[in-house]
Amino acid sequence: MIYFMNGQFTDQEGCTISIDDRGYYFGDGVYEVVKVYNGELYTAEEHFNRLVESAEKVKMVLPYSKEELIGIASELVKANQIETGHIYIQATRGVSPRTHQFPEIPVTPVVTAYAINNPRPLKNIEEGVRVKIVDDVRWLRCDIKSLNLLGNVLAKQEAFEAGCAEALFVRDGIVMEGSSSNVFGIKNGTVYTHPATNLILNGITRRVVMKLCEELAIPFVEKEFTPIEALSMDEFFLTSTTAEITPIVSIDGHPIGNGQPGTVTKQLQEAFARQIPVPVKAN
Ligand code: PMP
C-alpha cells in the first residue's frame, strides 16, 4: 500500500509520526474521507473545500492548495489501483513540545493520506440498519471535521454493543445526526433533517441528497425534530460518504414504518446510484 506523508509517496515503513505530533497529543487536526467509484474521486471539490474550511475554523494553514490536495488524492488512487474505495486524508497542526496553545515558533502541519479498496455496503443499503439513541455530549463545533472524535467513538461503541449499526445523537431533546452520518426522517412524502448549524457536520452526501430531492421534486425541509417525532416518521435513513443512503429500519428497537426500507428512501437510493461514476461498458 502506498501512503502519502509530508510530500512523499511511500510504503508504511516510510511513514513515521513524531511523538510530539499535536494530532497525537490533542487530536489537533482535521480530516476528510472521499469516496472513489470506478477509479474516480467522487465530489472531490466539495470534500476538499470542506477540508480547507475545517482547517480555517481551527486556525490552521494547510501547506497545500485545494488543487494540490486533489492531486495528492488522485495520485494515491492511481498508485494503489483503487476501483471502489475511499481515500482518507488528515492534517495535524504539526510537531512541537506539548503545550495547549499553538507552537510559539510556527510549525508546518503534518499531512498524511492513504487510499483503500472498500466495496459499497450493499447489504446495509438494501436491508437497512438499526440505530440506538445516544446523548450528544460532544462539543459545540460539530460543523468542524476535527480529529477529536472521542464523543463519536463512544457513541458508536454504545450503539454497537446494543446490536445497532449507528448511534442517533440527541441534544436538548432534538435529533442531531449519527456518530458518523447525517440522519433524515420522511413524513407524508416530505424529507426532514436538522439544519446545517454548528451542532452537526454538513455532510457532503447530505448535500447530494438535498440536490436529488430537488431533482425528483421531493419536498425537503431543514427543521429540528424530536425523538418522539422520529419514531412516528414513515421512513428514516442516514447518509455518509461510505454508507451512501442507508435506510434506518428501527430506532431503539421501535420499527420505523413497517420495519422495511421505505419507498421514498429507495427512490433516492436509485437516483444516487444513477449519478455515481460507473464502469464504461465495452462495445
Ligand atoms: N456527521 C458526522 C459526525 C460524520 O462523521 C459524517 C461522516 N464524515 C457525516 C455526518 C457525513 O458526512 P459525509 O456525507 O460528508 O461523509
pLDDT digits (tens, 9 = 90+) for 101-133: 999 999 999 999 999 999 999 999 999 999 999
Query: What domain range includes position 48?
Result: 3-117
User: 96 and 20 share a domain?
Assistant: yes
Q: Respond yes or no: is residue 145 known to be catalytic.
A: yes
User: 152 and 234 share a domain?
Assistant: yes
User: 100 and 154 share a domain?
Assistant: no
Q: Does some domain include residue 283? A: no
Q: Does some domain include residue 279? A: no
pTM summary value: 0.97
User: 32 and 108 share a domain?
Assistant: yes
Tell me if 185 sits within 8 A of 230, measured CB to CB: yes
Q: How remote is the CA of residue 180 from the centroid of ligand 1, in Å?
A: 5
- What is the distance between the alpha carbons of residues 153 and 124, in angstroms, rounded to a whole number? 20
Hunting for cell 506539548 — which residue is that?
98
Q: Does some domain include residue 49? A: yes
Mean pLDDT, the chain, rounded, equals 97
Residue after which a domain boundary falls, among 117, 135, 163: 117
Confidence band, pLDDT 50/70/90 cuts, at residue 278: confident
Please say if the pLDDT value at position 67 is more than 70.
yes
Residue 184, beta-bridge partner list: 193, 237
Q: Does some domain include residue 10? A: yes
User: 68 and 152 share a domain?
Assistant: no
User: Which three three-digit cell numbers place residue 151?
Assistant: 464523543
Q: Does some domain include residue 280? A: no
Please say if the pLDDT value at position 281 is more than 80.
no
Average pLDDT over residues 170-185: 99
Strand 129-135 and strand 166-171: the pairing is parallel
Number of domain units in the chain? 2
Q: What is the pLDDT of residue 187?
A: 98
Q: What is the pLDDT of residue 283?
A: 62
Q: Does some domain include residue 15? A: yes
Please say if the pLDDT value at position 37 is more than 90.
yes
- State which of 142, 154, 180 you would mutate to test the pocket of ligand 1, scoring each by most atoms of that ligand within 8 A of its C-beta: 180
- State which of 87, 240, 242, 276 you would mutate to test the pocket of ligand 1, scoring each by most atoms of that ligand within 8 A of its C-beta: 240
